[in-house]
Chains A and B, each alone.
Chain A
Amino acid sequence: MSKAEFAIIGTGEVPCGIYPDRSEFEIAYRVAKLAIADAGIDKNEIGAVLNAAHIMGSEFNTEAFFGRLPEAIGAKNCKIVATTVSGGGSSFSIRKTAEGILHSGETDYVLVIHAQRFSQFAANEQINFFAHAGSDLEWEVPYGMTYNALAAMMTQGYMAYTGTTVEQVASVCVACRKWANLQPNAMFRDKPLTVDDVLKSRMVAYPLTAMMCNVLADGGCAYIMTTAEKAKKVCSRPVYVLGEASDFSHRSIVNLKTKNIDKMYEFYAPVAQKAYERAGLGPKDMDIFEVYGAYPITSLMFLDSLGIVEPGRSGALVESGETSPGGRYPTSTNGEAMSFGHTGTGVGFSVFVEGIRQLQGKAGKAQVDGARFLIEDCGGGAFMDAHFTVLGNEIPNPTL
Chain B
Amino acid sequence: MITNMNIREILKQKLGCKDEDFDRPMPVPAPWSMPFWDAARKRKLVLKKCTCCGHIDHPPYLYCTSCSEEECEWIEASGKATLYAYAVNVYGVPFAFMEDLPYVLALVDLPEGPRMISNIVGCDPKDLKNGMELKVVFDDVSPEITLPKWKPVSK
Contacts and interface: CB of A to CB of B under 8 A. Distances in A.
Nearest to B125: A206
Contacts of A152: 87-89, 105
Nearest to B119: A143
A80 interface: no
Contacts of A142: 24-27, 141, 145, 147
Interface in B17-42: 17, 21, 24-30, 33
A156 B95 contact: no
A72 interface: no
Interface residues of A, number: 44
B86 interface: yes
Contacts of A213: 92
A254 B58 contact: yes
Contact of A141 (B25, B84, B91, B141): B25
Interface stretch (A99-107, A197-205, A279-287): A197-205
B148 to A, nearest CB: 10
A154 interface: yes
17 contacts: A137-B25, A138-B28, A138-B59, A142-B24, A143-B105, A143-B119, A143-B149, A148-B87, A149-B105, A150-B87, A153-B106, A156-B85, A156-B87, A157-B84, A210-B91, A254-B58, A254-B117
Contacts of B88: 152, 205-206
The size class of the interface chain B forms with chain A is 35 or more
Contacts of B65: 255
B93 interface: yes
B142 to A, nearest CB: 10
Q: Which of B33, B87, B114 has the most CB of A within 10 A?
A: B87
A124 B95 contact: yes
A146 B28 contact: no
B97 interface: yes
A207 B126 CA distance: 12
A146 B92 contact: yes
B145 A144 contact: no
A390 interface: no
A152 B106 CA distance: 10
B69 interface: no
B77 interface: no
B116 interface: yes
Nearest to A255: B65
B23 to A, nearest CB: 12
B93 A127 contact: yes
Nearest to B115: A254
Interface in B95-142: 95-97, 100, 102-103, 105-107, 114-119, 125, 130, 141
A32 interface: no
A41 interface: no
A249 to B, nearest CB: 11
Contact of B15 (A124, A139, A210): A124
Interface string A147-165: 0111011111100110000
Given A143-B119, A145-B117, A153 B107 contact: yes
